[in-house]
Amino acid sequence: MGRKGLKTKDKHIKNLAKIVGDRSILHHKEDLLAYDCDGFTIHKYLPKAVVFPKDTQEVARLVNYCSDNGLPFLARGAGTGLSGGAIPVNGEVVISLVKMKKLLSVDYENRRAVVEPGFVNLKLTNSISDKGYYYAPDPSSQYCCTIGGNVAENAGGAHCLKYGVTTNHILGLEVVLPNGEIIEIGNNGVPDAPGYDLLGLITGSEGTLGIVTKITVRILKNPEAKQTVLAYFNDVSDGSHAVSDIISAGIVPAALEMMDKTAIEGVEAAAFPVGHPRDIEALLLIEVDGISAGIDEQISQILDVCKNRNVREVKVAQDEAERARWWANRKTGFGAMGAISPDYLVQDGVIPRSRLPEVLNRINQISEESGLRIANIFHAGDGNLHPLVLFDARIPGQTELAIAAGSACLQACADVGGTITGEHGVGIEKREEMRFVFTDEEIQAQTDIREVFNPGNLLNAGKLFPSPGRCAEVKKEIKEAAL
Partner 1 sequence: MLETVSLSDLTSILPQEQIMVEEENDHPLGNGGYITVFPETEEEIQVILKYAGDHDKKITIQGRGTKRGYGGQNEKADILLSLSKYKGIVEHTVGNMTITVKAGTPFHELQTYLAEHQQRVSLDPAWPEQATIGGIIGSNESGPKRLGYGSSRDVVIGLRMVYPDGSIIRSGGKVVKNVAGYDMNKLFIGSMGTLAVMSEVVLKLRPLAKYESLVLLSFPEGNLEAVRLFATTLLESMMEPVTLELLTPALSERLTGQRVYTMAISFEDVKSAVHYQEEFVKSISPAQVQMDILPQEKAKAFWDQFYILRPNGALPSTDTETVATVKIGVTNLDVVHVLKESELLQDSHNLVIQGHGGLGHGLCQVTLKGASDNILSAITHLRQVVEQLNGYLIVTHLPYVLRQQVSVWGKPPSYFYLLEGIKTKVDPKRILNDKRYVGGI
Closer of 252 and 269 to partner 1 (Cβ)? 252
First and final C-alpha spacing in the chain: 46
Q: How many CA atoms lie within 13 A of 238 on its CB side?
A: 18
For the CB of residue 184, give the shortest distance to partner 1 in the complex, in Å.
8
For the CB of residue 434, give the shortest distance to partner 1 in the complex, in Å.
6
Q: List, as one string, the DSSP characters of 249-267.
A: TT---SEEEEEEHHHHHHH
Measured distance CA(55)–CA(304) in Å, rounded: 54
Closer of 93 and 171 to partner 1 (Cβ)? 171
Closer of 188 and 341 to partner 1 (Cβ)? 188
For the CB of residue 3, give the shortest distance to partner 1 in the complex, in Å.
38
Closer of 221 and 315 to partner 1 (Cβ)? 221
Closer of 192 and 473 to partner 1 (Cβ)? 192
For the CB of residue 326, give the shortest distance to partner 1 in the complex, in Å.
22
Compute, in degrees rounded to 10, the torsion defined by CA atoms 262, 85, 205, 13. 160
Q: Which residues contact 23 (CB under 8 A, 6 or more apart)?
A: 1, 2, 4
Alpha-carbon 236 to chain mean position: 26
Burial 360-393 (b: 16+ CB within 10 A, else e): bebbeebbeebebbbbbbbbbbbbbbbbbbbbee
For the CB of residue 206, give the shortest distance to partner 1 in the complex, in Å.
8
Closer of 265 and 432 to partner 1 (Cβ)? 432
Residue 267 backbone dihedrals phi, psi, to 5 degrees = -65, -30
Measured distance CA(173)–CA(442) in Å, rounded: 27
For the CB of residue 322, give the shortest distance to partner 1 in the complex, in Å.
22
Pick the closest to residue 388 from 264, 293, 296, 274 (CA basis). Answer: 264
Closer of 21 and 164 to partner 1 (Cβ)? 164
Query: Which strands sit side by side in the sheet containing 103-107, from one edge to the other?
Result: 103-107, 112-115, 211-218, 170-176, 182-185
Closer of 318 and 439 to partner 1 (Cβ)? 439
For the CB of residue 307, give the shortest distance to partner 1 in the complex, in Å.
20
For the CB of residue 394, give the shortest distance to partner 1 in the complex, in Å.
32
Are 282 and 258 spatial neighbours (Cβ–Cβ below 8 Å)?
Answer: yes
